[in-house]
Structures are given as structure tokens and as C-alpha cells.
Structure 1
Amino acid sequence: MAMTVRPTWTGSLALHDVVLGVFSAGSKNNVVLYYGQGPNQKRLSQYCADPSIDVFILSFVHLFPQQANGYPGIDFGNQCWAETYAESGYGGQNKPTNNCLLKCPNLQRDLYTCRQTSTKKILLSLGGGTTAHQLSGAVDGENLAKQLWYMFGPRQSSWVRQGLPRPFDYAGSSAGFSVDGFDLDIEHPPTDGSAGYKALTTKLRSLYAAAPGTFYLTASPQCVVPDASMAGALQATTFDMIFVQFYNMARCSARRWADANPNYVPGGDFGAAGFTYDAWTTFLAGTYSRNARMYLGLPGSAKTASPWFELTVQQAANLANAYYCRSNFGGVAIWEATYASENVASGQETSTRT
């Protein structure tokens, strides 16, 4: 079976269902876009108006309470101000200079608008490239899970009555704003043997189960199997979607596959050439996440990773076609919004569908 692709997001592609911009967990055609780390970013509302995008991953919660004076730290680039929420400290010490829970008024408004005008899913990602975030054991991980849930999940009256922060709530909405789940993008090995991340993910799952509605737990590991920074967490509980970053490590990258299969045609034979999609499927088969949907994580342009990792539209389409019939294939995940929207493919702005 071959799939139909249209040049659009990334110097790669977007995959489309008959109805664009309608996320389906069981679909093979979802388009996921990371947002929050681009230079001079457009507002989220502009991307939300694009019907080819199904899921946004807000990036990042880049610091944890131990490093950020008691609350998690958030960084969404130019969508946040220098002003922070007041914090009470961590471990008996209050260091206001470490306050990093920023106020992001533009993002508050745009999240509200996006929720009112679309059915797109919005996830909040933890981690990123900084080395600063760490947890110090199971209690630390469980406490972070509860903080994230009360701050960014469904509005809890007991939390609000105490005057505690809800960074994504927009003043014009009495219901508050809840993300649709949390993503782990942990790129540095944990110093506590993964005890914190195991407790974090397990607690989030239990909080999801007790709440009405559907919430997702996702991960954005590197392409090497297993990912040294995330293997423990991935084996601890059930993840719904895995957005493998096939662009940071040459030996398992999408570009290596493309170079090894320059004449691939849909339905034809191909060599894996070190590309680890199937290796990730095998790894997940031995975990609670054996039914997770797998996504091709691709760079949005040569500026988002080393230029060597960028794929042409045709190369990305070939790769997606080659793995489309895998039962766990879910779509593509693109890093990141600003550079992807600026990228030009086949002489066209990449956000223009053909």
C-alpha cells in the first residue's frame, strides 16, 4: 500500500486524512509540530489556523522544581515575559533568583483561541537540550507529576482557591485551559537511575485514569535503541505515542536511510541501513507501550539540526511510504515550527499544500 503525500510542513511532508486537522489516535496520517523554541516566533494562533497540523507539542518545561525554586520552569521563547510567578522555594531554601515559571500572556490567549476554533491536540513537553533538569528520586518525580497536573491539566478548584499558578489559563475563560497530555524529551541521562522519571510517568497515568476525558503520555527519544536517557521511563508505564528523533544521530537517521535508498519506489524493496524504526518497534514490544503509535521525527529545515540531516520532500515521502504499512505507524513529528514554516521546498513556502 502506498500513501499520498503533499509537500508542506518541513522540507519533508505532511500526511493528510480526508478531514484535515482532525486528530485521530489510530490514524497513520497525523502531523505533529513542536512549538516554542524558534527565533522570532509567529504566534501559536497563526499555526493553529493551518488545517494540516493535528498536534502541537509546546516546548519546554526546561527546569524541574529542584532547579527552579519549587515550581517547574517553562521557556517558550518570545511568547513569554520576564515576569515570573512567586515561588516558595525547594527543600527549605527559597532562592527567588531561580524563579523560572514565566508568565506567557500571548500564549494564554492563543491556547484559548486554538481550543475554541479547532480540535487540535496540545501536549506539553518536558526536558529539551538543556542539561539543567534533573529529578532526585521517586518522591521528586511523583511531586512533579502532581504539580504539572494541577498547573497545566484540568482546573482543580482546590488548587485555584489557594491562589496557586495556572500558567495557561486565559482570563476570558472561567473553565481554564488544560493540555491534552505530557511529552518527555529527556536528552541527558538521569542521575537517580531513572527513579524520578519512572515515578513521574506512573503518577501521571494514575491521574489521567481518575479524570474525565482522554489524556496522552508521549515521548520524544533519540533514534538509538535503547535511548540511555529514557529507557527506564519507557519501560515503567504505558506511552501512547513515540516521536522518535531521526535526525540527531547519523547512524540511525532518516537521512542515512534516504542516502541508502535513492531509487526507492512505493511498494518496492529497501534496506534499513541502520534506520531504527523496526528496532524501536521491537524494543517497545517488550514494554507496556507495545501498542504505542510510532512517528517519524524529522527536522523542519537545515537550521533545526545539522544541514546533513535535512531531507527533500521526495526523500521524506519515500521514507514515509516505506514504513506506512507498519501497523504502529502514526505520522510525522516536525522540529520545529518557525524554521519549518520558513523552509522552502520545491520552490514553494512549505506551509502551502499542493
Structure 2
Amino acid sequence: MAFRRPSSLPALLPLVFVLVLSCLAGPAMAKKTGQVTVFWGRNKDEGSLREACDTGTYSTVIISFYSVFGHGRYWGDLSGHQLYGIGADIKHCQSKGILILLSIGGPGKDYSLPSSKSAADVADNLWNAHLGGGRKGVFRPFGDAVVDGIDFFIDQGPPDHYDELARLLDSYNRFYRGRKGVRLTATTRCAYPDWRVERALQTGLFERIHVRFYGDDKCSYHQGGTYAVVEQWDKWTARYPRSEVYLGLAVAEDVPAGAPGPVAVYLKYLYYDLLPKVQKSANYGGVMIWDRFSDKMTGNDYGRTVQGWA
């Protein structure tokens, strides 16, 4: 009968210890924040803002869009949503600790900043119509509700003067006694750099950048796969280390319309392949979802699944 030498166990212990540590170190390298941002306001059938917040899925909701500005007119397009009640919904969401931002720009063509004066006028309107101001004679679409900040979603027109707009908006923080009452974020295209907002981002005033890895033939997750996303992701996170960078995904591209559930089946590569790679970045912030309507069409399963992995 053969017996194993007693000395072999102590010899194996260091190897076992190293293997255990390596197994533990792998998942630990991924930074999970649980932060999920969603765009709301693009389809009247998506439900109310209050309903979106009550799902418990989203940590930030971005109202979209304030899409007419820069030429003496200021207005938003909420795709058929009635303005009545949105102000109360904003307050309700904020009472639950959910950040509410207003996105300026979007896909329309009724905005640009042709001069420094136009940037100053837009900042003044945003402050008095949506933020902490309230000058007499300035219409407040959401009543006395105050959004937490402004998101720059500049998808049309020249890049001029958005850096000035960012500085002017940030200057209103002097009224908040040391806290950020006007928070700035940007939602960019995936290809780095996004020339329309590059000068604005160079101000260093944007606490977050939501990078849209959808709707692009070269760097969308749907078209380019993990490699294309990570290639651009690394550029964004390296260039703006002081900003949290969010992985922007589109429900409609990740889960085909009418596809049978569970949604997690369609997101398995996101979980096993893409998220572990982007979560290695020190300034990974979370996931941004486009949009609330598409998420609702999955029964909110997409958002809930991503929230568990984010």
C-alpha cells in the first residue's frame, strides 16, 4: 500500500493560498456601483415620471429634451407628455433620493449658440425657468420644482460657446453655500472625441459623461461588439479621469422587439464579457439606458437586470 508523505501537505498550502487569492481578486477588480440612469420624455406611452421613479430601478432620470434655445426662443419637447403634474413628480422623485436632470439639445435642429450673448441668455433662461432662479416674467414649465442639474446632449450644430454655457451654469453654484445645486453632465457619441462637446468637457466642470454605445456603425455595442466599445471606453476614461463615465446602452438594440424572455438571455454577453472590462476603470460610474419607454416594453426587466449587474 502506498502512502502520501506527510510533508506534501505543507508544500501544497502556499499554492492553494495563491489560487484562492487569485479567485477572490478577479471579481473584486470589477467596480460595481449599482447606478442606473435612464432618459425619460421621449414617448407619451412610457408612463409618468413618477412611475419611472417608483420602479426602484433608476438612480438618475434625465428629462429630455430642452430642445429650442439660442435664438431668443426657449422651449422643450416632451413628446406628448402633459406639463401638468411633472413638477410634482420631480419633487416626488427627489424625495426618494433620485437625481433629476434636464437634458438640453437632442436630435432636433432648433438650437445652437451663435454668440457669447446667446450662451449667457440660455444660462439665464435655464436658471430662471428650471433651476434655482425664478425671475418674474420667466415661464417655469415645471412650476416651482427645481431640477438638480443640466445634461449636455449636443447632437446638432456647431460646437461654439458650449464651454461658456457650462461655466455660466456652474457659476450659479455660488448661491448654494458649498454644495452643488447645479450639476453638469454630458451625453456624448461613442467615438472619441465628440467634437461638439469637446471644448465644454475641457472645462473640467462635468461630473459625469454618459457615452452612447449605440446608434453608431463603428463603436456601438450592437454593431462593433465588445472590442469596439472597450477601445473607445478606454479613451474616454483616460481623458477624463475626474469625471464618472457611464456605459450608455439602448434597450432596443440589446433586446429585439417582441423577443421572448427572459431578458437576461439577451444580456448574457454584457454580463460575462463587456461589463467586467469597463468596470475595471477607476472612474466607471454605472450604466445609462436609452430609454424609459423601451425599458417599460420589457416589463422593466432590462433595467432591473442591468441594475443588478451595474
Q: Shorter-chain TM-score: which interval?
A: 0.7 to 0.9
Deviation of 1:59 (Å):
0.3
Aligned partner of 2:119 among 126, 141, 156: 141
SS of the residue 1:59 aligns to: strand
Find the counterpart in structure 2 of residue 197 from structure 1: 162
Find the counterpart in structure 2 of residue 180 from structure 1: 148
* Cα deviation 1:221-270 (Å, max 9, x = unaligned): 10111112211221234210000001121212223554x5xxxxxxxxxx
Structure 1 residue ranges without an equivalent (≥5):
6-14, 16-26, 81-103, 170-175, 261-270, 285-289
Question: Matches of 2:257 and 2:207 in 1, distance apart?
Answer: 29
One-letter amino acid matched to 1:130: G
Find the counterpart in structure 2 of residue 22 from structure 1: none
> Contact 1:245–1:297 (CA<8 Å) still a contact in 2?
yes
- Evaluate the alpha carbon distance shift between residue 130 and residue 143 of structure 1 in structure 2; reply closer, same or farther with a 3 A threshold: same
Matched, 1:247 2:214: yes
Find the counterpart in structure 1 of residue 27 from structure 2: 2
Find the counterpart in structure 1 of residue 243 from structure 2: 292
- Counterparts of 1:184-263 in structure 2, within 5 Å, are 184-190=152-158, 194-212=159-177, 213-214=179-180, 215-256=182-223, 258=225
Find the counterpart in structure 2 of residue 73 from structure 1: 75
> Contact 2:220–2:228 (CA<8 Å) still a contact in 1?
no
* Cα deviation 1:118-144 (Å, max 9, x = unaligned): 010000000111122111111211221
* Cα deviation 1:161-204 (Å, max 9, x = unaligned): x24222212xxxxxx311110000001241xxx34212111101
Quick one: higher RCO (CA 8 Å, sep 6+), 1 or 2? 1
% identical aligned pairs: 25
> Contact 2:49–2:89 (CA<8 Å) still a contact in 1?
yes
Matched, 1:275 2:231: yes
Find the counterpart in structure 2 of residue 129 from structure 1: 107
Question: Matches of 1:75 and 1:305 in 2, distance apart?
Answer: 27
Find the counterpart in structure 1 of residue 289 from structure 2: 334
Matched, 1:61 2:66: yes
RMSD: 2.9
Deviation of 1:115 (Å):
2.7
Find the counterpart in structure 1 of residue 138 from structure 2: 164
SS of the residue 2:56 aligns to: coil
SS of the residue 1:220 aligns to: strand
- Evaluate the alpha carbon distance shift between residue 246 and residue 350 of structure 1 in structure 2; reply closer, same or farther with a 3 A threshold: closer
Larger radius of gyration: 2
* Cα deviation 1:278-329 (Å, max 9, x = unaligned): 0112333xxxxx400000000022399999xxx9311222312221121000
Question: Matches of 2:257 and 2:74 in 1, distance apart?
Answer: 30
Deviation of 1:352 (Å):
5.3
Q: How many residues align?
A: 272
Question: Matches of 1:208 and 1:304 in 2, distance apart?
Answer: 40
> Contact 1:304–1:336 (CA<8 Å) still a contact in 2?
no
Structure 2 residue ranges without an equivalent (≥5):
1-25, 259-264
> Contact 2:295–2:301 (CA<8 Å) still a contact in 1?
no
> Contact 1:45–1:113 (CA<8 Å) still a contact in 2?
yes
Question: Matches of 1:304 and 1:165 in 2, distance apart?
Answer: 40
Question: Matches of 1:38 and 1:304 in 2, distance apart?
Answer: 18
Find the counterpart in structure 2 of residue 29 from structure 1: 34
Question: Matches of 1:341 and 1:275 in 2, distance apart?
Answer: 31
Question: Matches of 1:150 and 1:341 in 2, distance apart?
Answer: 33
Matched, 1:350 2:302: yes
- Counterparts of 1:317-328 in structure 2, within 5 Å, are 317=271, 318-328=273-283
Question: Matches of 2:161 and 2:202 in 1, distance apart?
Answer: 13
- Evaluate the alpha carbon distance shift between residue 207 and residue 131 of structure 1 in structure 2; reply closer, same or farther with a 3 A threshold: same
> Contact 2:187–2:209 (CA<8 Å) still a contact in 1?
yes
Find the counterpart in structure 2 of residue 264 from structure 1: none
Deviation of 1:39 (Å):
4.5
